[in-house]
Amino acid sequence: MARILIVEDETRISDFLDRGLRAAGYATSVASDGETGLHLALAGDVDLVVLDLGLPDRDGLDVLRDLRGSGSDVPVIVLTARGGVRDTVTGLTTGATDYVVKPFHFAELEARVALRLAEARRPGSGSVRAWRRISATASAA
Ligand code: CA
């Protein structure tokens, strides 16, 4: 059973995600702030992270940066109210595997979770690895 970590401070949304993902057959855990989320993601017992950006203690993008900086390849789907093109691009270049804007449809999020988990299971073809190649190329240039 795939394990999903939900990092979200709004209880209404985290409860909704928690119930929906459990009903879809996933094991879930919830963190309501960035530091706890980062700690749990780095503890390694997680197959995918759903990450809010507007967190009470630190910005979700900083959490994402620290996660990638620590060498974690775990797929991260950013789930945020920040819906501008620039926000999406920043999220993706910071290391998000996918980016979903609130308000969202659960069916879409669920489809993306399934897709990103399937990708992560295919060795050498995950989008995080692709992102690492892009970052390495960008920093070598
Ligand atoms: Ca929030």
Ordered alpha helix ranges (H), the chain = 11-23, 34-43, 60-69, 85-94, 106-121, 127-140
Report how far ligand 1's centroid is from the alpha carbon of 55 (Å).
5
User: Where does the pLDDT of residue 129 fall: very low under 50, low under 70, confident under 90, or very high at 90 and above?
Assistant: low
Does the pTM of the predicted model rise above 0.85? yes
In the structure encoding, which two tokens stand for residue 55, read together? Answer: 């967190």
What are 12-29's pLDDT values in tens digits? 999 999 999 999 999 999
- 17 Cα to the center of ligand 1, angstroms: 13
Q: At residue 93, does pLDDT exceed 70?
A: yes
Ligand 1 center–CA 26 separation, angstroms: 22
